[in-house]
Chain A
Amino acid sequence: MSELRQAARIARTSALYEVLQPGRLAGAGAQLALQIFLTWCLWRALYDAVAASSGLDQGQAVSYAVLATLYGRLRGPDRDVAGDTVRQHIWSGSIVYWYLRPITPRRYHWLRAVGDQAYGLAWAAVTYAVCRALGLVGAPASAEAGALFGLTLLLGQIVLYYLLALVDVACFWTLRNFGVLAIVRLASSLFAGAIVPLWFFPGWFQAISSWLPFESSLHVPLSLYVGRIAPADAGRYVLVQAIWIVLLAVALRLAWRRADQQIVVQGG
């Protein structure tokens, strides 16, 4: 029980960091509301002159775009702001404290991520309910599509966690990760369909996306939600997600093991 309580105390850190600062909290809410409103206006305007494009009608495209905006909030607050990333601790030397605590660095890192994700999920769930009530987002294409949306969204977030954790842990060797992080963030938006749904892109672009882990985080769940991917075809995508999870989990485990063995705090 005390272990569970300890885990909960670690997990809630980022949420408390934001909740206890009304300015930051209000800013996050205003930002999300404005982004959703503008995205909704934008996609409605694009469909003014066409009934459907690339297999998506206006309702599907608007729902996809608004949900993609919510997805941005799903990963929780930016931990960089709170100064608790591996890079920041390596730079200041305080990474050594991660190795002195009665919890392994790997588990601490994972618990923080779970907490951030749960907090982000709460934001996304409340905002989704408001959007549904206001008619900004349509209902799932079917009950089955809704369930598969939930499953693939969960698997997609696990894939993304492993990717971002790998980038974070890589700082044990690279010391800085601004470049890699920027690439992963940009790629995870572009190749996941968060900027423009992947259905609008040319075939070659979709082919590249299908080889990368990013599309499973957003494109697949949202396409299931709006009915662009039929539930009967979902098995293939779930399998791809599972393969990515296994590959990335193994890579992360190896990376942590190597990091634990070679940690050097600046100054020796």
Chain B
Amino acid sequence: MLTWRFITMSVKSAIEHRADFFFMILVGAIWQVTVVAFATVLITRFPGMGGWTPGAILLMTAVRSGGHTLAGSFFMGARQISELTREGRIDAFLLRPMPVYRQVMLNYFHVPMLGDLAVTGVLFTIAARYLDVDWTPWRVAYLVAAVLGAMLLEAAVQTFLGSFALRHPAAKQWQEWTEDLMATFGNYPLNILPNLARAVFVFVLPIAFCGYLPVAFLTGHTTELPVPVWVAAASPGIGALLFVAALGWWARRLGRYESVGG
């Protein structure tokens, strides 16, 4: 009940400034054009990349973009931790009868969410049309799990970095940079990169688990993987594990929180 009231208040707060609300919806629409334009360019101008067909690359983009949209819808609050700390609002969150993490996440309503979901749907449709894959029920189920895993992984990364923002406001810059990096390079087969960069995207900033590895497993592009095939197949689970670990890290950092007011 309390959670629902938080959600409705966030929505009301977003609608309060109508011009801005309208433009945020427009942002979603323009972003759709961007993604569809990217897909058009890839399919019409190049035969593929790193041994992957345009259809497989588009499916990777769709999985990552779907995960990103869901993460943006439910975990966007992690990007606001720096401001919430600076304005002393975390102090108020600590006094309320609801976990602080949930309050942080419910504090912000991501307006372009509906538009973003539509983009993901369009991308899946285009990818399915260009891919020669038999969509059995388990494949569809795995695809859904891959999107959810991508969501949890992005939420894990933002939560982990956002935890630092409880003491260091500059962490927000790293959050934005990481999001940009994931949005840009999560869409391409990582076997085009040198081994060191590939290792970084598997073990340091695990972008590979957001799209590359699960889609490689799903479409059979398993010859040049930087990890065993079973690890690629377990990508959704790895996203969930990392999210649980990030929540643990958040709890630890919150335990050491000190108000800006001293």
Contacts and interface: CB of A to CB of B under 8 A. Distances in A.
A178 B177 contact: no
Q: Which of A28, A46, A195 has the most CB of B within 10 A?
A: A46
A196 B173 contact: no
B170 A176 contact: no
B19 A174 contact: yes
B181 interface: yes
Contacts, number: 100
Contacts of A201: 37, 40-41
Contact of B38 (A53, A176, A196): A196
Interface in A94-147: none
B142 interface: no
A183 to B, nearest CB: 5
A48 B49 CA distance: 8
Nearest to B46: A46
Interface stretch (B1-9, B99-107, B191-199, B249-257): B191-199
A24 B49 contact: no
Given A182-B24, A186-B34, A23 B40 contact: no
Contacts of B17: 174-176
A201 B49 CA distance: 18
A102 B30 CA distance: 41
B interface SS class: helix
Interface string B194-225: 10010000000000000000000000000000
B20 A45 contact: no
Contacts of A27: 170, 173-174, 177
Contacts of A41: 192-194, 197
A53 B30 contact: no
Contact of B37 (A28, A174, A175, A190): A190
A42 B188 CA distance: 8
B23 A179 contact: yes
Interface stretch (A7-15, A30-38, A256-264): A30-38
Given A24-B173, A42-B188, A202-B40, A182 B45 contact: no
Contacts of B45: 53-54, 200
A180 B38 CA distance: 22
B197 A195 contact: no
Given A41-B193, A46-B46, A54-B45, A24 B38 contact: no
A190 B27 CA distance: 12
Interface string A203-233: 0010000000000000000000000000000
B30 A34 contact: no
A187 interface: yes
B34 A183 contact: no
Nearest to A28: B173
B24 A178 contact: yes
B49 A46 contact: yes
A38 B197 contact: yes
A81 B172 contact: yes
Contacts of B168: 23
Interface in A142-180: 174-180
7 A-B pairs closest in CB distance: A179-B23, A45-B192, A179-B24, A176-B20, A179-B20, A182-B27, A176-B17
B121 interface: no
A267 to B, nearest CB: 17
A28 B41 CA distance: 30
Contacts of A23: 168, 170
A2 interface: no
A65 B228 CA distance: 33
A245 to B, nearest CB: 24
A37 B198 CA distance: 13
A182 B192 CA distance: 31
B194 to A, nearest CB: 7
